[in-house]
């Protein structure tokens, strides 16, 4: 209901004399306040409070009534839901009531004090504690001189009686926000002893609709707010004349059902079409990339030159230190060493060596890769060419290392070369075979591929741990610990547990045979796929080859990868954002007639009439007269089809051919306030009120038998 604007402050409060009563229709959905004798309430707003935290100042504030959604961004509403002072139709939270009254009097334009008598509506048989606390609040906080409480449905009935819609004796059927009431009237006075209340109302209809829709469309729960449901209810819901036959229609007659279904399209933005980037875009991106790369390269070069400079500096300083040491005598040398932090000149020398090596490495990198590859053996292994006699023991060690390195790398190189030669030979042979008989070759290749892939699959399955073989386990739904492990892991678990539990059993012969130690190999974690690598690379090679020569070839692994991802890619369409309201249109208002549908074990509004008539201790002629003047009022009576359905419902409880007349109130929503305003404007209104002095004298007892006389 965002269309409902916030009421502005009235300016003519001071114009009214202090004897003019203020009339308040305190309905559980809407609060209306205005002046006695006027035709319309001055201010009306939704009877709710929320107390969010203001984001920038951090203080808790009170907001009454409906709010403007765009303005709510300034408030943190996470911990404040909309709160109503009502439970069903009784005011029971007077803190919230106070905020609402504050707002109401403020909007009415009160400036110094609320010095007017007040007529406030309440529900039928309002509990006296509620009346007492309301009176207390009005007297003590607002300084109201006198108060009268009256039943809203009675005011509505009186107002319509004046309009000629109903007679002196009659019935009110009222479907309100939180409850439904049936009240009989005799000689213009409500007979409260015979009235009847069911705790189902418009609120329940809306809530039922909201919950049904959010269960039906779980993805759109956030869009289906209470306010939206209320709007949908007001716009689309109707009461079925015969609920069962309407259900039947919806179930069996698809066309008619489709005709009666309404759709609510949620805002949906089609996903943007992926356009290929233009040439310019590509060029720009490439340039950007190039620029970034350039910068990175520059940074790296700078860093390297810095490193080189640092190292050179260090070497020179160390050399200087060595020179100093050479020149100095023993005592001075010790002092110099102590200062520099080295223990001996040898240490300094080794440090210099390390630094020179690092320097060479850094410089070698800066020279680029090409000359690194053809660094001759002499350059790479400088010590090998130097005769042993000239070397220090440390350098000797280094020389041995270099020799070892040299032989191994050479061996590796030779092996690599050999392998490459073999491969080339094989390739050549294959090529030859292919040239000789392409058909046969293709056939062979295919066979080899399928064989290999089969093998690969099998291994994979083994690794997953036989969940394919015993399918009955997976169908039962439970995936136990064992089923999640693959075969190798299972074996490992078994070994570990047996190792843990075997301890101390018999003689320990572990290690007597060499094979025993293999257990550790199995236990260690990373012994998965080592043999697979060869097969896998072969498989990939064959697949690529097949792809080259066979246009019909599709790799198995590709097929497998594609299938499980397919359902993810269905793009969302506008259809997914459409909320259909079919059966809900009449299913939700039906709760007024069958409260059992939402688990409330009470009679529906049609049956309530008969209950009320039964409670009325009058003879049949009076009841017949009442039934000829039934007034239907309250906000929920605005559903299309309400009156005919109510009539047929009531007829079921009445004698055959008993006269029945139902009238909808002139304005089911505002009539109560109008009736109350007319009542308060009467000169005898003053006799119906009570003052603070009365309340002080009698206390809560004042309200036990408090009933105003509606006929003035």
Partner 1 sequence: MEPEVMKAEMVLAPTLPFKKVQTADKYPKGQSRGRQWKHLRYLLQAADASTMPPDQPNYLNIQSPPSIYPPKRYCDITGFEAPYVDPRTKLRYTDPEVFKQIRMLPDEYVQRYLALRNAAVVLR
Minimum distance from residue 700 beta carbon to partner 1 (Å):
8
For 276, other C-beta atoms within 10 Å of its C-beta total: 7
For 634, other C-beta atoms within 10 Å of its C-beta total: 28
Whether 180 contacts 174, CB under 8 Å: yes
| Cα separation values, 311 from 102, 316, 358, 382, Å | 81, 9, 8, 21
Which residue lies nearer to partner 1 by CB, 129 or 404?
A: 129
Minimum distance from residue 692 beta carbon to partner 1 (Å):
12
In angstroms, the CA 510 to CA 172 distance is: 96
In angstroms, the CA 214 to CA 221 distance is: 5
In angstroms, the CA 37 to CA 152 distance is: 16
Minimum distance from residue 458 beta carbon to partner 1 (Å):
34
DSSP assignment of 250-278 equals HHH-HHHHHHH-EEEEPP--PPPP-PPPP
Which residue lies nearer to partner 1 by CB, 116 or 545?
A: 116
Minimum distance from residue 50 beta carbon to partner 1 (Å):
10
Q: Which of 37, 38, 35 is nearest to 104 (CA)?
A: 35
Minimum distance from residue 61 beta carbon to partner 1 (Å):
4
Which residue lies nearer to partner 1 by CB, 348 or 605?
A: 605
b/e map of 699-708 (b: 16 or more CB within 10 Å)? eeebbeebeb
Minimum distance from residue 209 beta carbon to partner 1 (Å):
11
Minimum distance from residue 122 beta carbon to partner 1 (Å):
11
Which residue lies nearer to partner 1 by CB, 230 or 337?
A: 230
Q: Which of 66, 31, 32, 63 is nearest to 47 (CA)?
A: 31
Q: How is residue 520 written in tokens?
A: 């550790």
Minimum distance from residue 33 beta carbon to partner 1 (Å):
13
Minimum distance from residue 603 beta carbon to partner 1 (Å):
5
Minimum distance from residue 441 beta carbon to partner 1 (Å):
52
Q: Which of 152, 9, 17 is nearest to 90 (CA)?
A: 152
Minimum distance from residue 513 beta carbon to partner 1 (Å):
56
In angstroms, the CA 531 to CA 456 distance is: 11
Name 173's Cβ contacts closer than 8 Å, sequence gap at least 6. Answer: 180, 181, 182, 605, 608, 609, 630, 631, 632, 633, 637, 646, 662
Antiparallel, parallel or unpaired: β 170-175 and 630-633: parallel
Minimum distance from residue 679 beta carbon to partner 1 (Å):
21
Which residue lies nearer to partner 1 by CB, 445 or 581?
A: 581
For 310, other C-beta atoms within 10 Å of its C-beta total: 14
Report which secondary-structure segment, H or E, holds 642.
helix 642-651
DSSP assigned state of 179: -
In angstroms, the CA 100 to CA 44 distance is: 11
Q: Which of 78, 89, 114 is nearest to 30 (CA)?
A: 89
Which residue lies nearer to partner 1 by CB, 15 or 291?
A: 15
Which residue lies nearer to partner 1 by CB, 465 or 649?
A: 649
Which residue lies nearer to partner 1 by CB, 197 or 545?
A: 197
In angstroms, the CA 712 to CA 707 distance is: 13
Minimum distance from residue 601 beta carbon to partner 1 (Å):
5
In angstroms, the CA 646 to CA 252 distance is: 26
DSSP assignment of 270-334 equals PPPP-PPPPHHHHHHHHHHHHHHHHHHHHHHHHHHHHHHHHHHHHHHHHHHHHHHHHHS-HHHHH
Q: Is 65 exposed, middle or buried (0-12, 13-18, 19+ CB in 10 A)?
A: buried
Antiparallel, parallel or unpaired: β 262-265 and 578-581: antiparallel
Strand partners, 184: 171
b/e map of 568-597 (b: 16 or more CB within 10 Å)? eeeeeeeeebebebebbbbbbbbbbbbbeb
Minimum distance from residue 101 beta carbon to partner 1 (Å):
9
Which residue lies nearer to partner 1 by CB, 259 or 327?
A: 259
């Amino acid at each position: 209901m965002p269309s409902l604007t916030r009421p502005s402050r009235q300016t003519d409060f001071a114009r009214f004399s202090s004897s003019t009563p203020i009339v308040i229709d305190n309905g559980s959905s809407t609060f209306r306040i205005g002046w006695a004798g006027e035709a319309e309430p001055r201010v009306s707003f939704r009877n709710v409070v929320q107390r969010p935290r203001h984001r920038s100042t951090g203080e808790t504030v009170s907001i009454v009534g409906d709010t403007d959604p765009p303005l709510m961004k300034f408030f943190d509403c996470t911990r404040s839901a909309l709160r109503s002072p009502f439970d069903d139709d009784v005011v029971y939270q007077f803190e919230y009531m106070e905020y609402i009254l504050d707002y109401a009097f403020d909007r009415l334009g009160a400036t110094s004090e609320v010095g007017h008598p007040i007529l406030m509506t309440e529900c039928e048989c309002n509990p006296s504690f509620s009346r007492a606390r309301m009176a207390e609040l009005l007297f003590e906080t607002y300084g109201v001189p006198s108060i009268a409480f009256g039943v809203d449905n009675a005011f509505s009935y009186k107002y319509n009686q004046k309009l000629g819609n109903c007679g002196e004796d009659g019935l009110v059927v009222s479907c309100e926000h939180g409850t439904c009431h049936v009240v009989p009237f005799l000689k213009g006075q409500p007979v409260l002893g015979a009235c009847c209340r069911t705790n189902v109302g418009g609120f329940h209809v809306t809530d039922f609709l909201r919950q049904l829709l959010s269960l039906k469309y779980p993805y759109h729960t956030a869009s289906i707010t209470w306010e939206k449901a209320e709007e949908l209810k007001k716009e689309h819901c109707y009461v079925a004349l015969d609920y069962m036959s309407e259900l039947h229609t919806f179930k069996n007659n698809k066309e008619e059902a489709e005709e009666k279904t309404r759709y609510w399209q949620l805002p949906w933005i089609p996903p943007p079409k992926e356009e290929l980037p233009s040439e310019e875009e590509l060029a720009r991106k490439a340039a950007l990339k190039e620029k970034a790369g350039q910068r990175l390269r520059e940074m790296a070069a700078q860093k390297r030159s810095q490193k080189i400079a640092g190292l050179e500096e260090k070497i020179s300083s160390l050399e200087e230190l060595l020179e100093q040491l050479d020149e100095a005598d023993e005592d001075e040398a010790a002092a110099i060493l102590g200062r520099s932090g080295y223990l001996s000149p040898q240490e300094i020398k080794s440090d210099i060596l390390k630094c020179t090596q690092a320097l060479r490495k850094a410089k070698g990198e800066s020279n680029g890769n090409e000359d690194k590859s053809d660094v001759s053996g002499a350059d790479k292994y400088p010590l090998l060419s130097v005769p042993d006699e000239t070397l220090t023991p440390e350098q000797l060690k280094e020389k041995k290392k270099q020799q070892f390195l040299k032989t191994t790398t050479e061996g590796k190189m030779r092996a690599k070369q050999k392998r490459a030669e073999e491969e080339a030979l094989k390739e050549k042979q294959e090529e030859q075979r292919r040239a000789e008989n392409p058909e046969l070759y293709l056939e062979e290749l295919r066979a080899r591929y399928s064989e290999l892939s089969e093998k690969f699959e099998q291994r994979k399955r083994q690794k997953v741990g036989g969940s394919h073989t015993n399918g009955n386990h997976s169908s039962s739904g439970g995936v136990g610990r064992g089923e999640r492990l693959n075969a190798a892991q299972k074996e490992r678990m078994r070994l570990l547990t047996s190792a843990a539990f075997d301890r101390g059993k018999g003689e320990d012969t572990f290690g007597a045979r060499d094979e025993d130690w293999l257990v550790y190999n199995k236990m260690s974690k990373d012994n998965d796929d080592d043999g697979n690598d060869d097969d896998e690379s072969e498989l990939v090679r064959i697949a690529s080859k097949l792809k080259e020569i066979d246009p019909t070839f599709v790799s198995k692994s590709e097929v497998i990868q594609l299938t499980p991802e397919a359902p993810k890619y269905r793009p969302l369409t506008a259809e997914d954002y459409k909320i259909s309201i079919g059966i809900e249109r009449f299913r939700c208002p039906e709760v007024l007639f069958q409260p059992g549908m939402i688990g409330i074990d009470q009679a529906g509004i049609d049956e309530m009439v008969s209950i009320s008539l039964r409670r009325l201790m009058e003879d049949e002629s009076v009841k017949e007269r009442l039934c000829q003047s039934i007034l239907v009022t309250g906000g929920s009576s605005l559903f299309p089809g309400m009156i005919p359905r109510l009539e047929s419902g009531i007829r079921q409880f009445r004698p055959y051919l008993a006269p029945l007349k139902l009238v909808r109130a002139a304005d089911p929503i505002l009539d109560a306030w109008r009736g109350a305003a007319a009542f308060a404007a009467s000169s005898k209104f003053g006799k119906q009120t009570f003052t603070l002095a009365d309340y002080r004298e009698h206390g809560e007892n004042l309200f036990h038998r408090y009933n105003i006389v509606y006929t003035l």
